[in-house]
Amino acid sequence: MLRRGLLLVLLAACSVEEGEVRVRIYGEEFIEEGIPASVFADGWSVKFDSFLVSVGAVTVAQAGDSPGLEAPGFQVLELARPSMGVGQQIASGRVLVGRQDDVGFVVGPDGAAVASEVPAEALARMKDGGFALYVAGTATKDAVTKRFAWGFPTRTRYSECASVAEVAAESEATVQLTIHGDHLFYDDLYSETPAVRFELVAQADVDGDGEVTQAELLAVDLRPLPNYQVGSTGIVDLWSFIAHQTGSLGHIDGEGHCDNTAEE
């Protein structure tokens, strides 16, 4: 009996405690409600009618351990849909107790992506266009309104995201993949304090029809400008500049940092 009791104690000591983690994606108020003029350095404001993102290859773990949660498939989600501040769930599972400070995910196109609360035509737009991101909306300043509808095929891997989610035994915690829509309108690729601007985008509408297209943005030469710095990227036009910024949208739990790597 003594030996059996000792064995049970040892087994209990070696048992692994787990809890539940839910992974949600959230575009914050800027995507769900709009970016107010107070955020822009040039007085514009932006309202998104659609902000579709294709996200997958989600992993959640503690630093140094194997992923406790792996969700390899891709989903297309409409981040402009109101969520009352909670975002939309994309994965859940059991993980070891502790802080889940090693999260990874990919924002990229995927022909097999699924969607449960996105219209069929929107999912088809993402797949047919090979898009990771599709944004449509309006920008307004005084009596001027400019429309935009842009799709981006860029693919970005976010890794080593230091989530603050703390899972306790037999309890539940939430990891939030946070998407920052205002980054699309940053005026510098590498500054730690870029301004948010729309004036140059608005000026690209050379035919005056009220819609700023990819072709018009491609025609804007950044090289003479004092801002819109591009480092060693070789980028010379406004479309490529904005496309490059799409690789900086992903964060963790609000303002938390992720390493981001562009992939082919």
pLDDT at 174 exceeding the cut of 80: yes
* pLDDT for position 171: 80
pLDDT in tens, 131-152: 999 999 999 999 999 999 999 9
Burial class (CB in 10 A: 0-12, 13-18, 19+), 99: middle
List, in order, residues 6 or more apart from 4 with CB less than 8 Å away. Answer: none
Residues 6 or more apart whose CB falls under 8 angstroms from that of 111 comprise 127
Evaluate if residue 3 carries a pLDDT over 70: no
**CA separation for the pair 110, 133 (Å, rounded):** 11
**Residue pLDDT, tens place only, 61-115:** 998 887 789 999 999 999 999 999 999 999 999 999 999 999 999 999 999 999 9
Mean model confidence pLDDT for the chain: 93
Measured between alpha carbons, how far is 62 from 136 in angstroms, rounded to an integer? 37
pLDDT in tens, 193-241: 999 999 999 999 999 999 999 999 999 999 999 999 999 999 999 999 9
DSSP E strands in the chain: the ranges are 18-26, 45-61, 69-78, 88-96, 98-99, 102-107, 133-141, 144-152, 155-161, 166-167, 172-179, 211-212, 250-252, 259-263
pLDDT reported for residue 52: 98
Query: Which tokens is 127 given?
Result: 């797949």
pLDDT tens-place string over residues 16-37: 799 999 999 999 999 999 999 9
As a whole number, mean pLDDT of residues 157-164 equals: 96
pLDDT at 53 over 80: yes
Amino acid at 184: L
Nearby residues of 109 by Cβ (< 8 Å), 6 or more positions away:
54, 126, 127, 130, 131, 132, 153, 155
Which of 115-119, 180-184, 246-250 has the weakest average pLDDT? Answer: 115-119
Please list the residues that pair with 135 across neighbouring strands: 51, 150
Q: How much is the pLDDT for 15?
A: 55
Query: Residues near 63 by Cβ (< 8 Å), separated by ≥ 6?
Result: 101, 102, 160
In the numeric block, the tokens 């690209």 are attached to 204
Task: Supply the pLDDT for residue 6.
Answer: 40
